Amino acid sequence: MDREAVPGAPPAAGEAAGEDAGQEAGGDARRRIARTDALLAEPRLALAAGRLGRGIVKAAIGAAQRRARSGEIPPDAVADAAVAALPPTASGLRPVINATGVLLHTNLGRAPLSDAARDAAAMASGPTDVELDLETGRRARRGRSVLDALLERVPKAEAAHVVNNGAAVLVLAATALARDREIVISRGEMVEIGDGFRIPELLAATGARLREVGTTNRTTPADYAEAIGDETGFILKVHPSNFRVTGFTRGADVSELAGLGVPVVADIGSGLLAPEPLLPDEPDAASMLKAGAGLVTASGDKLLGGPQCGIALGREDLVRRLARHPIARALRVGKTTLAALEATLRGPATPTALALHADPEALRGRAERLAARLRDAGVDARPVASEAAVGGGGAPGVVLPSAAVSLPEPYAARLRLGAPAVMGRVDGGRCLLDLRAVPPGDDDEIVRAVRLVR
Ligand SMILES: *Cc1c(COP(=O)(O)O)cnc(C)c1O
């Protein structure tokens, strides 16, 4: 074991060389490997220790020393190797270029934040007036300006509330509006949102009872009307955001249910605030409220293109019941999220919106130029047509024409392990780097990453 990992242990003589080193490398070479304390004093590594913490820098030094002991690198390359192995931040998370062609890739953290949202989040990481009125010096409503921004973007909504994620808004709505009562829901909308989480189970866990109506493929307004009674908390419409049922189908629209005398809660998932012409089947908050929904629930990090959060928009009385419920405190969202969400709402087009609206011709041009640059570097690269998708966030079945750089398949794994990591997709025995979700400013990074692992 690495003795350096023992907290407070005094450095042992010759610790950097390790006990087994002589078996792999010559004793002389072994003695020339710099000691840990000397390396920690090396200017670049000392600076890094201030930025990343000593533990992370020592781990990089230890790994470089082991590589030198095994003869993989020369003893005088240890400092350089340690510097090269330093992570970009003190977090274990690594930046990844999303070349999968899936705009909202759940495993890559869904929507990437805009620069405006990143700046706002960075600002809000320090002390900020999130819950303070600077004019009076008194406490103020938490996150009031982000709620204002939501209402400006969706004038039909009387009030708004923000929690940790889309599932949390559903939990809060079910708890505040239907605990010990019934949620009327179509059997065609009992969906799993991924990773084994099922909306019906989530709702039932709150103590609300589910009143299932209709069938998988057909549910009529009459089915809902029959199920409504004194026990009804609300009708829930869930957008089947990750699949489509086609053929002999019938669903009830919010407008057909709004007159039944109980609130209609519309879980749209995607977070589109207004209709998106490119995605005509994707529901949006404004249209749902116009159709008569009392409450719309959505995620912040899907098509809205913001930070992970859950948004409730709608009638003042319903939103107030959510916001005032004791459980709301347990779902409270952080200040950096509030700041990023507001900047997403007020700021320039998000990376997600830009990727959705990217011109296929422009993508093709980028793919051609990238492939040419990589061929100049001796890589078997060619531009190919590709198909991208919105992803876990919505619009199932919608194909977004795209372009990709096609590389030999072994690049897929090598690029994943590069710095920055590039995540492509393997298709037909080739590694495709689809450019639709890659901001044009990252093209140089891709060239650099590919050349490094060539
Ligand atoms: C994504 C989604 C959810 C869950 O939202 P999270 O932000 O992932 O918690 C709930 N309902 C629908 C329809 C969704 O698409």
Mean pLDDT, the chain, rounded, equals 92
**Mean pLDDT, residues 107-126:** 97
pLDDT classification of 26: cutoffs 50, 70, 90: low
Q: 54-69 and 43-52 helices cross at what angle (nearest 10)?
A: 140
Binned at pLDDT 50, 70 and 90, residue 393 comes out as: low
Q: Which has the higher per-residue pLDDT, 382 or 252?
A: 382
Indicate which atom in ligand 1 lies nearest the CA of residue 106.
8
Atom of ligand 1 lying closest to residue 299 CA: 7
For CA atoms 287, 290, 292, 294, give the dihedral sign.
Answer: positive
Burial zone of 95 (CB within 10 Å; 0-12 exposed, 13-18 middle, 19+ buried): exposed
Cα distance from N-terminal residue to C-terminal residue, the chain: 34
The arithmetic mean of pLDDT across residues 37-52, rounded, is 97
Distance CA 236, CA 438 (A): 36
What spacing in Å lies between the alpha carbon of 23 and ligand 1's midpoint? 56
Contacts of 83 (CB under 8 A, 6+ apart): 44, 45, 48, 60
Name the closest-CA residue to atom 7, ligand 1: 166
Q: What element of type H or E holds 159?
A: strand 159-163
Identify the CA nearest to 173 among candidates 185, 155, 188.
185
DSSP annotation of 190 reads -
CB 237 within 8 A of CB 293: yes
- The DSSP result for 395-445, as a single string, is -TT--EEEEEEEEETTHHHHHHTSSSEEE-EEETTEEEEE-TTS-GGGHHH
Q: Which residues approach ligand 1 with their CB closer than 6 A?
A: 165-167, 193, 238-239, 241, 267, 269, 299, 310
Rg of the chain in Å (alpha carbons): 27
Model-wide pTM > 0.85? yes
Report which of 342, 329, 350 is spatially closest to residue 163, judged by C-alpha positions: 329
- The values of phi and psi at residue 14, to 5°, are 65, 25
CATH architecture of 114-348: 3-Layer(aba) Sandwich (3.40)
**Rounded to the nearest whole angstrom, what is the distance from the C-alpha of residue 181 to the centroid of ligand 1?**
23
pLDDT band at 396 (very low <50, low <70, confident <90, very high): confident
Least confident of 158-167, 183-192, 315-324, 360-369: 183-192
b (16+ CB within 10 A) / e for 186-195: bebbbbebee
Looking at residues 167-192, what average pLDDT do you find? 95
Please say if the pLDDT value at position 30 is more than 80.
Answer: no
Q: Report the pLDDT averaged over residues 173-198.
A: 91
Distance 398 CA to ligand 1 centre (A): 18
pLDDT band, very low/low/confident/very high, at 18 (cuts 50, 70, 90): very low
Distances (CA, A) of 312 to 113, 165, 171, 182, 302: 20, 10, 11, 20, 15
What integer pLDDT is reported at residue 217 of this predicted model? 87
Provide the CATH number for the domain formed by 96-107+354-453 in this structure: 3.90.1150.180
**pLDDT, tens digit, 9 for 90 and up, residues 262-310:** 999 999 999 999 999 999 999 999 999 999 999 999 999 999 999 999 9
Residues in the chain: 454
In the predicted structure, residue 17 carries a pLDDT above the cut 70: no
The DSSP annotation for 5-26 comes to GSTTPPPPTTGGG-SSHHHHS-
Q: Reply yes or no: is the peptide bond before residue 420 cis, omega within 30 of 0.
A: yes
Tell me which residue has its CA closest to atom 13 in ligand 1.
Answer: 269
Nearest residue (by CA) to ligand 1, atom 5, is 166
